[in-house]
Amino acid sequence: LDQEILDRYARMAFQMADFETELLPTIKRLIKRDLPNVQEPDAAHLRKIVDFLIANEESFAYLSSLTKGDFQWFFSKPTTAERLLSVSDRENALTALAYLLECESLDVSALKRDAEERGWKYTKLLAVIRVTLIDNTKGPPIKELVSFFGEKECRKRFKDMIGILQSPLEAVLAMNK
């Protein structure tokens, strides 16, 4: 068997697995083993993650990638501004995050329109959003992230990142870049 066939089989197995009897206990075991500092999410949150993966991630095949791969963001939040400062300078990031806290909608077409009106690069705004939400420059489309987290949680993460950026230590780190 080649890797492509194995991946396809793994995707089918994941999509066909029973949540309560197979996926839930396995995911909980993986979290305990691989992410000991993460508080175990409740079953409803894990169900939301599985539903998101089935609906949006055609290539998702291995549960281990939840705790050791590209999907760890389901269980964490950025705790530093290091990655954000790799895609934006501190002042522009603060300006963008303040706008995101106050904007009417996190709908991508509204964000694009507002970015153009402000003379911002839309792709830079999306990078600030993505890194603030999942601490990664790669991942699902912004629309899917906003749908998964909900606007309330997104805005909370924007506010938290403003606090991180405004902390004295982050200000010193930003100046040294």
- Does some domain include residue 78? no
- Does some domain include residue 23? yes
Distance CA 62, CA 70 (A): 11
Structure-block tokens of residue 172: 């010193």
Does 168 lie in the same domain as 92? yes
Does 147 lie in the same domain as 66? no
- The domain of 26 spans 3-72
Under 8 Å between Cβ of 104 and 60: no
Mean per-residue pLDDT, 71-78 = 94
Does 98 lie in the same domain as 158? yes
pLDDT band at 170 (very low <50, low <70, confident <90, very high): low
Distance CA 177, CA 168 (A): 15
Q: What is the DSSP letter of 40?
A: P
Better-scored residue on pLDDT, 176 or 149 = 149
Does 158 lie in the same domain as 96? yes
Structure-block tokens of residue 111: 């964000």
Distance CA 75, CA 77 (A): 7
Does 153 lie in the same domain as 93? yes
pLDDT at 168 over 90: no
Does 153 lie in the same domain as 126? yes
Tens of pLDDT along 60-70?
A: 999 999 999 88
**CATH code of the domain in which 151 resides:** 1.10.10
pLDDT at 115 over 60: yes
pLDDT band at 58 (very low <50, low <70, confident <90, very high): confident
Domain count for the chain, please give it: 2
Q: Which of 72, 103, 131 marks a domain boundary? A: 72
Structure-block tokens of residue 160: 């938290």
For position 174, what pLDDT does the model report? 57
Instruction: Give start and end residues of each alpha helix (H) in the chain.
Output: 3-16, 24-34, 43-56, 65-68, 84-87, 90-102, 108-118, 122-134, 142-149, 151-166, 168-175
- Does some domain include residue 77? no
Tens of pLDDT along 79-101?
A: 999 999 999 999 999 999 999 99
- Does some domain include residue 135? yes
- Does some domain include residue 158? yes
Q: Which of 18, 47, 72 marks a domain boundary? A: 72
For position 163, what pLDDT does the model report? 96
pLDDT at 175 over 80: no
